[in-house]
Amino acid sequence: MSEEKYVPQKPVLYDLKEHKFMEGKQNGRMQVIQASENVTLQWCQIRQPHEVGLHRHEYEQIVFVPEGKCKFWCDGIDYELDAGCFMVIPPNAEHGIEAEGNMYVIDFDIFTPKRSDRKQTPRICDLGHKNWDKGITDEVTEE
């Protein structure tokens, strides 16, 4: 452990129920949270029909599927993921998701470093969580 003294900091708290969805490209919708200077969070709901949309980016991406089933391609290999599965996608790997069936697959993504090409979805309500910092705003600085 470092000899430096730890200085307590407040955590940043978000509730996806307080944020607006935006329409996604793949017959779905998503929410984006710019959680810190280092991390972007993305909550997606995708269903058929949609294009797989193979792509690559410089960000490491952690994919968690809390609900539904999908095929996830990574560098030419398809992997079947269902509720409870994680996948860590290396930077610059070609990848994409395909929902199975007409039910939504939920895909929770964590990107690091922070994605400068994503804007945070607007906060549309305050559910009044006890002890939460009321200073959270929708303002996202352009980089």
Distance CA 116, CA 143 (A): 6
Dump pLDDT digits (tens) for 12-28. 888 999 999 988 766 88
Sign of the CA dihedral running 112, 69, 13, 33: positive
Give the pLDDT score at 129.
Answer: 86
Give the pLDDT score at 9.
Answer: 83
Sheet holding 95-99, edge to edge: 77-82, 69-74, 95-99
In the predicted model, residues of the chain with pLDDT beneath 50 are: 140-143
Query: What's the CATH architecture for 24-112?
Result: Sandwich (2.60)
Distance CA 48, CA 28 (A): 9
Nearest to 93 by CA among 113, 70, 76, 117: 76
Give the pLDDT score at 141.
Answer: 41
Name the residue with tokens 């697959």.
105
Name the residue with tokens 């002890």.
131
Collapsing DSSP to helix, strand or coil, 16 comes out as: helix
